[in-house]
Amino acid sequence: MTSSTFTRRGFLAAASATLCTPTLLRAETRWPLTVTDAVGRTVTIAKKPKAIILGTGFNLFALSLIHPDPVSLLAGWATDMKTDNSFIYEAFRKKFPAIDNVPLVSNGQADGMSFEAALSLEADLAIMGRWQADGEQGQRAIDYLESIGVPVVVVDFNLDPLKSTPRDMRLLGRVLECDQQAESYAQFFEKRVERIRTGAAGKGAAGPLVLMDAFPSPTRGSWAVGRTGLGELITLAGGRNIADKNLPPQGGPVTAEYIIAAEPDVYIATGSPGGTYTVFSIGPGVDPAEARQSLRETVKAPSLAPIKAVREGNVHGMWNFFNAVPLNVLAAEAIASWVRPDLFGDVDPAGSLAEINERFAAVPMEGAYWTSLTA
């Protein structure tokens, strides 16, 4: 590493720390702070949070994009990121060894919180995902936490990502006194999304048909992602989702007959490292060659091999957990380049990832997050 590189990285780290250190005047006037969260709840936070419970471990990503030491903020967290994507956990542990000592209070499911563990932590804030908060069990957890004096903020990087991701990053910036860094990330996100939206404007009616297949399995079959979440990114790019009209908003299981009759022009699989839920292995710590080969094996399934997208080599795959973190802008760019290469052939998600790693990420992302097959 050259001295200039070291100096530049040192400057970036120092700048990130400064952005989360407001002046005394700002700190005095901010608290108590009242915010509106992702589900419209008005939440008042008495003081700057220093002991946070994460209802889903994946929200550590959000904290790590705006705070230089996100682990130092944790009073307790869920196990889901650690168990589903262990490479990420190891990457955080390498930089922040104290993560091993953070108490586990939940498995990441809405009904998986240990109220006894939460009570013992003396937390001053809890952050939950919208997908957790929307159900009865999630509401029960919120009610309990608030009953013991822990305010709860709900964020959404899943259901309505294009609207909610920059909004909720700004929200977290206010809560953590990291406004400038959060604003920079929100603008980074919005600039890239707007480029796609503007480029695809008016072109969706004749766009290619797309099947986004969540965790395709030779035994379970296919789950077509619907028009919300990652499915929204298909429409953004000017594509037509085969699950738009006759499946629930979140999508649902589809038969081989359904897929073959739909004859999608573009096929996109989602998966996780090591093929935890399926043959397809992709994401943090995965070698690009492994990702490509496992995708190649995936589309040999009888329900997929005959379709136009596979015959013509328009086959792609990406990390499923883009639907849980504010890095979904990378998925938006990859999908745009696959669905409308005529419009977005110069879109560069790899370049965007490199910029995120340099400007924002407390722990750089490594691995294969998207891949493609050619005819």
| Domain endpoint, select from 192, 223, 239 | 192
Return the CATH number at 292: 3.40.50.1980
Distance CA 270, CA 337 (A): 16
Are 213 and 260 part of one and the same domain? yes
pLDDT, tens digit, for every residue of 178-190?
999 999 999 999 9
**In a shared domain, residues 331 and 354:** yes
Q: Is residue 142 part of a domain?
A: yes
What confidence score (pLDDT) does residue 213 get?
Answer: 98
Q: Is residue 197 part of a domain?
A: no
Residue 262 CB-density burial (10 A; 0-12 exposed, 13-18 middle, 19+ buried)? middle
- 23 has pLDDT over 80: no
Most confident option among 25-34, 121-130, 197-206:
121-130
3-state secondary structure the chain: CCHHHHHHHHHHHHHHHHHCCCCHHHHHHHCCEEEECCCCCEEEECCCCCCEEECCHHHHHHHHHHCCCHHHHEEEEECHHHHHCHHHHHHHHHHCHHHHHCCEEECCCCCCCCHHHHHCCCCCEEEEEHHHHCCHHHHHHHHHHHHCCCCEEEECCCCCHHHHHHHHHHHHHHHHCCHHHHHHHHHHHHHHHHHHHHHHCCCHHHCCEEEEEECCECCCEEEEECCCHHHHHHHHCCCEECCCCCCCCCEEEECHHHHHHHCCCEEEEEEEHHHCCCCCECEECCCHHHHHHHHHHHCCCCCCCCCHHHHCCCEEEEEHHHHHCCCHHHHHHHHHHHHCHHHHCCCCHHHHHHHHHHHCCCCCCCEECEEEECC
Structure confidence at residue 202 (pLDDT)? 85
Residues 210 and 93 reside in one and the same domain: no
Tokens of 188: 């980074």
Question: Does 128 share its domain with 34?
Answer: yes
Same domain, 257 and 167: no
Q: Do 117 and 217 share a domain, yes or no?
A: no
pLDDT at 25: 42
- Predicted confidence at residue 123, as pLDDT, reads 95
The answer to whether residue 198 is domain-embedded is: no
Looking at the fold, whether 86 and 157 belong to one and the same domain comes out as yes
Reported as a single tens digit per residue, the pLDDT across 155-166 is 999 999 999 999
209/160 same-domain check: no
Q: Which residue has the higher pLDDT, 197 or 13?
A: 197
How many domains is the chain partitioned into structurally?
2
What pLDDT score does 279 carry?
92
List the structure tokens of 238. 């000017």
Alpha-carbon separation of residue 91 from 22, 82, 85, 357 (angstroms): 29, 11, 10, 13
pLDDT band of 92, cuts 50, 70, 90: very high
Task: List pLDDT tens digits, range 257-293.
Answer: 999 999 999 999 999 999 878 899 999 999 999 999 9
Let me know whether 146 and 247 are in one domain.
no
The answer to whether residues 149 and 220 belong to one domain is no
Residue 115 lies in a domain: yes
Instruction: Determine, yes or no, domain membership for 138.
Output: yes
Residues 116 and 220 placed together within one structural domain of the fold: no
More reliable by pLDDT, 209 or 2: 209
Q: Which among 161, 192, 223 is the end of a domain?
A: 192
Tell me what percent of the residues of the chain surpass a pLDDT of 90. 78
Say what the pLDDT of residue 9 is.
Answer: 36
| Final residue in a domain of this structure, among 133, 166, 192 | 192
Query: Domain for residue 215, yes or no?
Result: yes
Which amino acid is residue 215, in one-letter code? Answer: F
Question: Do 159 and 17 share a structural domain?
Answer: yes
Q: Are 56 and 81 in contact (CB under 8 A)?
A: yes
pLDDT the model gives residue 21? 57
In a domain, residue 199? The reply is no
For residue 362, how many other CB atoms are within 10 A of its CB?
20
**Domain-embedded: residue 11:** yes
Q: Which domain holds residue 184?
A: 3-192
- Average model confidence (pLDDT) for the chain? 91
What pLDDT was estimated at residue 115? 78
- 2 pLDDT band (50/70/90 cuts)? very low
